[in-house]
Amino acid sequence: MILLYTSPGCASCRKAKQWLKDNNLPFVEKNIFTTLLKEDEIKYLLKRTENGTEDIISTRSKVFQEMNVDLDDLSLNELVKFIRENPSILKRPIILNEKNLVVGYDDDEITSFVPSELRNLVSKTCNETCQNYEICGACRKEA
């Protein structure tokens, strides 16, 4: 199951949500302002990141700047509490499933949520006879 963490008014969140719908990928949306994130949920997000807090926390956010907090000085429990009390510091959208975590909307990265069987099928069936080969076939050859 895909989890989509969003906030109202977030254009990237709307794009991600629409992309998931357009690709018939079931997801559960969690608005970070109306659904209080659980401690375990935040710890799980942090555990899944490659670079820790810098992957999911926006140090440029107004709240973060006003709080004048050094994340390196916080214990894990203090960090979790800080995020729970200030969800606006999270980058958005955050999209994850059992295998993938994508923060923000990126046209290329979001395709990681398409099941590999389907990606393999497409790569095998699209060839020179496909009407879209000039676009998608050429892209795959370059990669």
- For residue 96, list its beta bridge partners: 3, 101
> Any long-range contacts for 20-23 (C-beta under 8 Å, 24+ apart)?
20/95, 20/113, 23/113, 23/114
Helices (H) and strands (E) in the chain, counts: 7, 4
- For residue 4, list its beta bridge partners: 29, 95
The alpha carbon of residue 47 and the mean position of all alpha carbons in its chain are separated, in whole angstroms, by: 14
Q: Quick count: other Cβ atoms within 10 Å of Cβ 58?
A: 17
10 is catalytic: yes
Residues catalogued as catalytic: 10
